[in-house]
Structure 1
């Protein structure tokens, strides 16, 4: 269901994550929330932001978008299997999993994972229609069945677990980041940037009004910037508490985590 980059209207922009979803089920709800959470972590996604009329065949640009992704999130929802387009996406994603090692992360939104794997309930009803429509090419329908079963067997997220949607999308976004072997330091960069501007203003003020209190304020800000830069380095290097256990008795230890 994706054919344009979230970060730009230019489809050629590189992305790491492809999001497959059924627009009428989740576009303005779960999918948009998850996409926003990923973007806050500086993870580029490929997703359709428009209700576009499509032909029966999946487009080459969409196939290329799936191929270029490192990870695909498949949001299985009630009407997902009704869409030939969505089913073709799953087939292509599994091909990329086989030949390119693409990571697959299924998300079960208001559907039972068992129903998806075995095409029951709304998924079973969808395939009854597909078998009637494509009775001359049932091998294609079987390929869709097999793809759904395989994709749904991957370790993923069941949204029926008792938690708020906001908590869930944040957890999934963090899971995606870890699977991409990424480290997020945007929060620290933002703090450092603000404090550096503050330190500059404090220095100018200290030069014009040279008092001990003003100097102390400036030095405290500079010290905090240094602490945050150290914390950023610890996060980037993926240093753990155990790796830095020799520092436990120092005052700086807790400030690094």
Structure 2
């Protein structure tokens, strides 16, 4: 399955109409250029602070993991309107990651991106995962320290609406669960990148979870037993068989195990009704389906 097909299929339910964006975003974004493309992650950052270092490392790590990312210098076609592309991309992203650095709030566009992210979060299923890069969340909330000084010094270049809406967005984002770079292993940026990627992957994997009836009676012990087998260290591939008479819940148990293991694998596939499918279409059909589903399920791109 190619990138466009897998991404469109997976995120159709998450797309938001930009016509519903709050007026506090200043510009009503129009979906141009990218058409029906949707993104896993939108990266927002102050280029002069982090573009060539931390943001570049994070971007490349996300892309190499197979995550579809929007990054302004990689994703906007030449000649396209910047404002509509940026705000439209946020609306079409599942996750936004604002990298809030010392000079983040000195950029009118960074503030407008943040305002739109918080609007999308409040009005739908959009997820905002902030990174406080060498700044304290409390300084962002109260506009103090070097972050506050930078913001106040740039206010003369902003409209009053920019300032007021920006302040509210900064207050809201400072209260979200995210990462404070200096608290991750004494500022180890490589470890921070890995933590962010792991969290993003965990969120995106939920889109692939299979439907299983909640509060099933008696399944917990069976799931725990199989998980113990799965978690036992081994040097070779593991195969676990679930057998029993028809109708006792073998498929439901397999789905429950599959959902629990998703976060631990980049590629995965669940092939149901093997016997019936093989009889109708042959074994090669199932083999091809397995290959397609485990090859670049989440393809590359950037923010």
TM bin (shorter chain): 0.5 to 0.7
C-alpha contact (below 8 Å) 2:41/2:68 kept by paired residues? yes
Cα distance in structure 1, aligned partners of 2:155 and 2:104: 16
Secondary structure, counterpart of 2:49 in structure 1:
helix
Residue 109 (structure 2) aligns with: 85
CA deviation profile, 1:187-236 (whole Å, cap 9, x unmatched) = xxxxxxxxxxxxxxxxxxxxxxxxxxxxxxxxxxxxxxxxxxxxxxxxxx
Q: Are 2:133 and 1:103 equivalent residues in the alignment?
A: no
- Indicate how the Cα distance of structure 1 residues 63 and 245 shifts in structure 2: closer, same or farther if over 3 A, else same: same
Match of 1:117 among 138, 141, 159: 141
Equivalents in 1 of 2:204, 2:90: separation in Å?
Answer: 16
2:7 is aligned to: none
Q: 2:55 aligns with which of 20, 23, 31?
A: 31
Is 1:245 aligned to residue 228 of structure 2?
yes
Measured in 2, the distance between the counterparts of 1:131 and 1:164 equals 33
Whole-Å separation in 2 of the counterparts to 1:118 and 1:154: 15
**Residue 17 of structure 1 contacts residue 70 of structure 1 at CA under 8 Å; is this kept in 2?**
yes
TM-score (norm 1): 0.63
Deviations 1:35-85 (A, max 9, x none): 1111122111000237x9xxxx96011111000000000101111011011
Q: Within 5 Å, which residues of 2 pair with 1:155-166? A: 155-161=177-183, 162-166=186-190
Structure with bigger RCO (C-alpha 8 Å, 6+ apart): 2
Q: Where does the alignment leave 5 or more consecutive residues of structure 2 unmatched?
A: 1-32, 209-221, 240-303
Task: Go from structure 1 to structure 2 and tell me whether the alpha carbon gap of 1:13 and 1:94 turns closer, same or farther (over 3 Å shift).
Answer: same
| Equivalent residue, structure 2, for 1:75 | 99
Post-superposition offset of 1:155:
0.2
TM-score of the superposed pair, with normalisation by structure 2: 0.54
What is the count of residue pairs matched by the alignment?
Answer: 187
Q: CA 1:250 to 1:108, structure 2 compared with 1: closer, same or farther past 3 Å? A: closer
**Displacement of 1:243:** 4.2
Q: CA RMSD of the aligned region, Å?
A: 3.4
Query: 1:246–1:37: structure 2 CA closer, same or farther, 3 Å change rule?
Result: closer
Deviation at 1:249, TM superposition (A): 8.9
